[in-house]
């Protein structure tokens, strides 16, 4: 069974790409992210993909409200 871990985007970014923190909104940083192999398995490139997805999800939600 694959270990699943749910963490805040802020924890992911702070650990692997702290230079991105000032560019993200609080709502984005507070997003829950489900990681299939846990935080320790992430690479910097993975963080960029997760951040891009999170931003697009929050923009989409803004249009729906």
**pLDDT given for residue 26 in this prediction:** 94
Integer angstrom CA distances of residue 20 from 3, 4, 27, 35, 63:
27, 24, 14, 19, 24
Confidence (pLDDT) at 65: 54
Q: What are the b/e assignments for 1-30, b being 16+ CB within 10 Å?
A: eeeeeebebbebbeebbeebeeebeeebbe
Q: What is the model's pTM?
A: 0.83
The one-digit pLDDT tens for each residue of the chain (65 residues) are 768 899 999 999 999 999 999 999 999 999 999 999 889 889 999 999 999 999 888 887 666 55
What 3-state class would DSSP assign to 23? helix
């Amino acid at each position: 069974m694959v270990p699943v871990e749910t963490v805040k985007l802020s924890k992911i970014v702070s650990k692997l790409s702290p230079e991105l923190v000032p560019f993200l909104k609080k709502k984005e940083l507070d997003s829950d992210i489900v990681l299939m192999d846990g935080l320790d398995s992430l690479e910097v490139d993975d963080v960029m993909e997760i951040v891009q997805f999170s931003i697009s999800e929050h923009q989409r939600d803004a249009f729906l409200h």
